Amino acid sequence: MKQASDVILSTEGLGKSFDGLRANNAIDFTLRKNRVHALIGPNGAGKTTFVSMLIGRLAPTDGAIWFDGQNVTEMPAHRRVALGMGYTFQITSVFSRLSCHENVALAARRKAGRGKGEVEAVVADALVRVGLGERADEVAGDLSYGHQRLLEIAMGLASAPRLLILDEPTQGLAESEIAAFKALIRALSAETTILLIEHNMSVVMELADEITVLNFGEILAHGTAAEIHANPAVQAAYLGTETA
């Protein structure tokens, strides 16, 4: 398979089975460069399973993953990071006893070949970009939950990703924090491709250039926000159950 030049990542027939449960099935997916692409779907639809295969935390049962023209299906996660994939987890994964600065520095050092000066510059930049520049020396566990999620995004940014995958970044955030998050994603999207798993429909509809809907482990629909919003199958499976 050959990727078009505006495609940064694609999957072909990607599938994952857990002891007979088909969590992902035959997923053909294309992520275009410099887009915000939202992945939505009901709880248990297979969203986290899908991105876990993209980043190399889970091995696919079948199918292939291509990143920037290379088949990365069997590549270890750290090599995918080196190629330019960054991500944050659905479950908060900061080191609560370390400072904000130390958390981001750990992530920044994962990118090979960086000297101390460069690590410091990357850390400072990432913290400023998510709005935590003033809190660099605070212990992560003392931050509000919303600030911890922003810290995770800073950790994701520290590897200078060309593709940033965010798994439910706004879960548990207050409305004011969600507004700040939207502004952050808009700013980041100028230079980075973003794959956003998100349940908050106002975030999806405002930010996403493209939306893919997963349902029972398969792609139910793909299109622009307006197309997805108007899609009867999507409404039946998902949107009708949301309050937003």
243 binds, among ligand ATP, Mg ion, none (CB under 5 to 8 A by kind): none
Answer yes or no whether residue 49 interacts with Mg ion by CB under 5 A.
Answer: no
Report the distance separating Cα 205 and Cα 185, nearest Å: 13
CA distance from start to end of the chain = 39
- With respect to ligand ATP, which residue has the nearer C-beta, 121 or 145? 145
Minimum distance from CB of 114 to ligand ATP (Å)?
32
Which of ligand ATP, Mg ion, none does residue 162 bind (CB under 5 to 8 Å by kind)?
Answer: none
Query: Letter for the amino acid at 79?
Result: R
Least spacing, CB of residue 173 vs ligand ATP, in Å: 16
We find the least distance from the C-beta atom of residue 104 to ligand ATP, in angstroms, to be 25
For the bound state, the minimum distance from the C-beta of residue 90 to Mg ion, rounded and expressed in Å, comes to 5
| 3/90 with CB nearer ligand ATP | 90
Judged by beta carbon distances under 5 to 8 A according to partner kind, the member of Mg ion, ligand ATP, none in contact with residue 23 is: ligand ATP
Touching Mg ion, residues 88-147 (CB under 5 A): 90
Contacts to ligand ATP by CB under 6 A:
18, 21, 23, 41, 43-49, 90
Quick check: 48 binds Mg ion (CB under 5 A)?
A: yes
Residue 106: which H helix or E strand, with range?
A: helix 100-109
Of 183, 129, 192, the C-alpha closest to 165 is 192
* Strand (E) or helix (H) holding 185: helix 175-188
Residue 185 CB contacts under 8 Å (≥ 6 apart), including other chains: 36, 194, 196, 207
In 10 A of CB 13, how many CB atoms?
12
Site for Mg ion in 64-93 (CB under 5 A): 90
Q: What is the CA radius of gyration of the chain?
A: 18
Nearest in space to 28 (alpha carbons), one of 225, 242, 241, 222: 222
Per CB under 5 A, residues contacting Mg ion are 47-48, 90
